[in-house]
Structure 1
Amino acid sequence: MRLYQFPVSHFCEKVRWALDYKGLHYEVQDLLPGRHVRTIRSLAGSSSVPLLIDNGLKIQGSAEIIDYLEQQYPQHRLTPVSSKHQAIAREWEQRLDDETGPDVRLLCYHYLLQQPSLIIPLLSYRQPWHVSWLLRLGFGKVEKGMRRWMRINERTAAAAQQRLQHTLDELGQAYQQGPFLAGPEFSRADISAASLLAPLFQPAGFDVPWPQSMPGELQGWLNQQRHNLAPLQSLYERFRSAGHELAEQQHGGVANAVSD
């Protein structure tokens, strides 16, 4: 089993968490955003990551990968059994995948792209040493390309922040009503929420070189969101570490990292 991914991607972290939670052994192929296109298109129909290859099967997309894992490796279930709670979990996951994940990425990159010293270590993590040097040399083109590719500008960043504020308020209220989003058990909805919003609270278990603080106005806004982010950080610390420990117990170590 091999996962093609960006280490910094919160969608890839969602899949890593699911794999670890189920105690599955896998290898990762770390790719550089932009340069990944040729590699992924040679393997699958589109250039998107995460891409999981298992026994010759190729699955793209975090929700699709979790669906596959639930069918093939049902241990440590992530999809609720009851139809009611399953519908709630999938509704949350789809919303978080379609709206919240892209909004987090857009907002963070809008600010990080203004400070090459912060974003280059994130993009080049686990890449050969010269990749960081090349990114610094051509950062102007990198920034323009990323902003064009993801439609990042002042207007879209402000709109993303407004949507995120609404979602964080809803999640904060939901976690006040119970420990999980979809019924009495930890589920794929909670993994989606905690992993896709992880760049906002920067957990150590994500294993990337987070900045000590986010740039300017973004850090000020994040400080105001601590009460909403606290339940997500708690879930991450409790269940993400459990996934790592389970993988270590069953396979004698966490997944092997393989650089491109």
Structure 2
Amino acid sequence: MGGEDERRRFLFVAMPINHFGERVRWTLDLIGAPYEEYTVGGLISAFLRGRSVPQLVDRKSCSMIGNSDECLAYLSAAYAPSIADTRLRAKALSFLRFDEQTMAWDVKLNQLGHLVQGWAYFYVLALDMTPEGCLTAWGAFEPKVPLMHRLILKFGHPFLRKFMRLVFELSNEEVRDRRRKMIESILDEADATLSKQKFLAGDDLSHVDITFSALLAPLLGARLVFAPKSSYANGRFSSFNGAMDRMSDKWPRALLEFEQSLLKRPCAKHCISLYESLRSTQL
């Protein structure tokens, strides 16, 4: 397959703040996969289409993959071995390797992703918080999100917040504290691992490092996601640029304080280093 068809082999569907989606997007960029992206408003796909995001569509095989773990496994098996550039192919296969170390981390990081989601939402969707923070994260002000989705988010926010608070148990402080304790435990393990080796799964970069960085990024809002020049999603979302400054006191203080302590950790420095060195390049 060549020309325009090859350039657009994959369709990637995700919402703006979608840390599981960011791991797939970043992988696609690193291995040079030909794809186009369609952005949906936060939660819209689940409510209107009954499907969560991210989704990866391979137009060559007419396949649709709907889980980030499966997306990476699919790219490892169905795309990476066919990369024409032998140097990039070797790097992609190494990066997407599934061995004892990477699979053990995959289990922990799946858990981390859901913990980060639930813990952060406790504050962002609190009843005394203005909606600007979550609307920014969901894409209500993002030009790449369809206008109808943006309108649904802006006018449907009260219902969405009520629904999310129920599903994620966001009124339960014990659940909140348990989530934070489990997040800290995984971060402690990452710190300990990085004190002994350069990368989380050995001496070479793997999808584990990119996954970890993508999942941790939402907790580094001021430093990465909503920075003056956002590096999240390789700068795809213009509405994220400078969003933290615009939101000012509308972002939960608890998340800002956690970010300050997080920045002192080796694992956060690892995350930031990878965003700075690898978010806009190929392997």
Q: TM-score range by the shorter chain?
A: 0.7 to 0.9
1:38 shift after superposition: 6.3
2:5: which partner in 1?
Answer: none
Letter in 1 for 2:219: L
Partner in structure 1 of residue 64 of structure 2:
58
1:211 aligns with 2:211: no
> What CA deviation, in whole Å up to 9, does each residue of 1:219-245 have, x standing for no partner?
1122112122112211222222223xx
Residue 96 of structure 2 aligns with which residue?
79
Give the match for residue 178 of structure 2.
Answer: 159
Tell me the number of residue pairs that the alignment of Structure 1 and Structure 2 aligns: 234
TM norm structure 1: 0.82
> Does the alignment pair 1:149 with 2:167?
yes
Describe how 1:96-115 pairs up with structure 2 within 5 A: 96-97=109-110, 99-113=111-125, 114-115=129-130
Corresponding residue of 1:190? 209
- What amino acid is aligned across from residue 152 of structure 1 in structure 2? L
Task: Give 1:14's aligned amino acid.
Answer: R
In the aligned structure 1, how far is the partner of 2:49 from the partner of 2:28? 20
2:13 paired residue number: 4
Q: CA RMSD in A?
A: 2.2
C-alpha distance in 2 between matches for 1:67 and 1:38 = 27
- Per the TM alignment, residue 141 of structure 1 is displaced from its structure 2 partner at its CA by 1.6
Amino acid at match of 2:280: S
- Per mean C-alpha deviation after superposition, the further-off stretch among 154-163 and 13-22 is 154-163
Q: Distance in 2 between matches of 1:139 and 1:189?
A: 34
Unaligned residue ranges in structure 2 (runs of 5+): 1-9, 81-88, 225-229
Residue aligned with 2:64, SS: strand
Aligned counterparts, 1:171-190, within 5 A: 171-190=190-209
Q: What corresponds to 2:134 in structure 1?
A: 119
State the alpha-carbon separation in 1 of the partners of residues 148 and 75 from structure 2.
36
For the residues of structure 2 that align with 1:69 and 1:16, how far apart are their CA atoms?
A: 12
**Structure of greater relative contact order (alpha carbons < 8 Å, 6+ residues apart):** 1
Measured in 2, the distance between the counterparts of 1:130 and 1:92 equals 38
Aligned partner of residue 52 in structure 2, secondary structure: coil
Alpha-carbon spacing, 1:225–1:39, altered in 2? closer, same or farther (3 Å): same
Query: 1:32 offset after TM fit, Å?
Result: 2.2
Q: TM-score when scaled to structure 2? A: 0.75
Rounded to whole Å, the distance in 2 between the matches of 1:134 and 1:21 is: 33
TM superposition shift of 1:25: 1.5
Hey, what's the Cα distance between the residues in 2 that align with 1:138 and 1:132?
10
Does 2:259 match 1:222? yes
Flag structure 1 segments of 5+ consecutive residues without an equivalent. 42-46, 247-260
The 3 A distance-change label for structure 1 pair 33 and 117 is: closer
